[in-house]
């Protein structure tokens, strides 16, 4: 089953998505998500200029060999651009294999280990009352697990807070990133009060999650985790910058609040110490940024040995192709924890037709062969790329801060 064409489509149906399309001589086509938020064109070029020409003529059935060829063969390993490009190829080949077999991808991964995939939605507010309203809206939609974020009083902007109309909170398009402000003492005073407010109002019957976006030092994160213990969080996400794995030892000494890390991971080497020293409870890596299904499955298998569960990243800047791939993997692996479900907005459904479903707090990837996502290239062409960046975060004195 030779690959006859591989091409990259960059489109913006609501936000930017990079999609790889792989065609075979048998007429079976596969798709993969190659979106790297704010650096989309770098991955598009890596694929177009260096990977697509190598794919033509290869056997689409040889997924593992192609993965090794692109990873080891390039000499330059890891990194978000490389691993997102490899992920897109890998997912497209799994899609082709599923379609050729006439089976949904999760069947090729060993079949369903559960009936549905527990997902969490995002509730946020510019005030505690606004957060409560959005939280109630999520409960009404059927979510059983909800991430809570609210604007820190006194700060002009807080990342992760949706405008009143819905779920999108990324800045508008433009050639430069927006700049946000940050003040750790104000945040550390506010965050426990925010979580207490939600528990007081809504009780303990729903899972609560909170994202720190890598903004604390290990000892600050330990203090926050300890303060949050009475509110029994499902997890505290990305408490400190993720590249410093040994820092999590300090955090672990100070709190029993579960810790989730991983949306910036690209490979198993980014979490080897975190997993083998049991410094985290959930790996939040994504299919798109961590080398595809082939590699992320390896990460989750390592995690399984150490009692660490999955909690994959599922933000709106990962395309519906990535969401579908994540759901197939979530359904199949033994150590699944939870899946983020931020959803997509804008005219994305003109471009991506999905088979996955949400009901009563759980999602299912559907039973269409392969990923179960159809990609409409003509519709994609109607929504051209728009430059758009994640915000830069500065402390009150102007210093660029972690995030
Ligand atoms: O591209 C980065 C976003 O996906 C990220 O900032 C969103 O933190 C996020 C999350 O948990 O979804
Ligand atoms: Mg996050």
Tens-place pLDDT, residues 337-383: 999 999 999 999 999 999 999 999 999 999 999 999 999 999 999 99
Average pLDDT over residues 12-17: 96
Tens-place pLDDT, residues 278-300: 999 999 999 999 999 999 999 99
Average pLDDT over residues 17-46: 98
Residue 124: beta bridge partners? 149
Question: Which ligand 1 atom lies nearest to the CA of residue 342?
Answer: 12
What structural domains does the chain harbor? 2-104 (3.30.390.10), 108-367 (3.20.20.120)
- C-alpha of residue 340 to centroid of ligand 1, in Å: 10
Q: Is 138 assigned a catalytic role?
A: no
Whole-number mean pLDDT of the chain? 96
- C-alpha of residue 66 to centroid of ligand 2, in Å: 30
- Which residues keep their CB under 5 angstroms from ion ligand 2? 211
Which residue of the set 17, 46, 106, 159 is catalytic? 159
Whole-prediction pTM: 0.97
Pocket-forming residues, ligand 1, beta carbon under 6 Å: 37, 211, 213, 263, 313, 315, 317, 340, 342, 390
Tens-place pLDDT, residues 189-235: 999 999 999 999 999 999 999 999 999 999 999 999 999 999 999 99
């Amino acid at each position: 089953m030779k690959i006859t064409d591989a091409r990259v489509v960059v489109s913006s149906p609501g936000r930017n998505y990079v999609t790889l399309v792989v065609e075979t001589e048998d007429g079976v086509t596969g798709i993969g998500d190659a979106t790297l938020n704010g650096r989309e064109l770098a991955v598009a070029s890596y694929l177009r200029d260096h990977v697509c020409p190598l794919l033509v003529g290869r056997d689409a059935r040889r997924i593992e060999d192609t993965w090794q060829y692109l990873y080891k063969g390039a000499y330059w390993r890891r990194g978000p651009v490389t691993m997102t490009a490899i992920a897109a190829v890998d997912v497209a080949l799994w899609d082709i294999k599923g379609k050729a077999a006439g089976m949904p991808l999760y069947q090729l991964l060993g079949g369903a280990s559960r009936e549905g995939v527990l997902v969490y939605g995002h509730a946020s507010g510019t005030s505690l009352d606004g957060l409560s309203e959005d939280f109630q809206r999520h409960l009404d939609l059927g979510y059983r697990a909800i991430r809570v974020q609210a604007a820190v009083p006194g700060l002009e902007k807080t990342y992760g807070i949706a405008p009143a109309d819905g779920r999108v909170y990324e800045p508008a398009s433009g050639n430069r990133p927006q700049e946000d402000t940050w003040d750790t003492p104000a945040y550390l005073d506010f965050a426990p009060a925010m979580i207490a407010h939600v528990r007081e109002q809504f009780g303990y019957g729903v899972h609560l999650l909170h994202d720190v976006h890598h903004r604390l030092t290990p000892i600050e994160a330990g203090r926050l985790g300890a303060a949050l213990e009475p509110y029994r969080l499902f997890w505290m996400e990305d408490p400190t910058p993720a590249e410093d794995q040994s820092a999590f030892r300090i955090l672990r000494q100070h709190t029993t609040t579960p810790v989730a890390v991983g949306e910036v991971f690209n490979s198993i080497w980014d979490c080897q110490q975190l997993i083998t020293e049991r410094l985290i409870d959930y790996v939040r890596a994504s299919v798109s940024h961590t080398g595809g299904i082939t590699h992320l499955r390896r990460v989750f298998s390592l995690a399984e040995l150490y009692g660490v569960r999955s909690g994959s990243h599922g933000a709106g800047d990962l395309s519906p192709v990535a969401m579908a791939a994540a759901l197939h993997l979530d359904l199949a692996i033994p150590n699944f924890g939870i899946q983020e479900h931020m959803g997509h907005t804008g005219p994305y459904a003109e471009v991506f037709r999905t088979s996955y479903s949400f009901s009563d707090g759980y999602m299912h990837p559907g039973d269409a062969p392969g990923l179960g996502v159809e990609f409409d290239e003509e519709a994609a062409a109607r929504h051209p790329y728009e430059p758009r960046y994640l915000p830069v975060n500065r402390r009150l004195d102007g210093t660029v801060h972690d995030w």
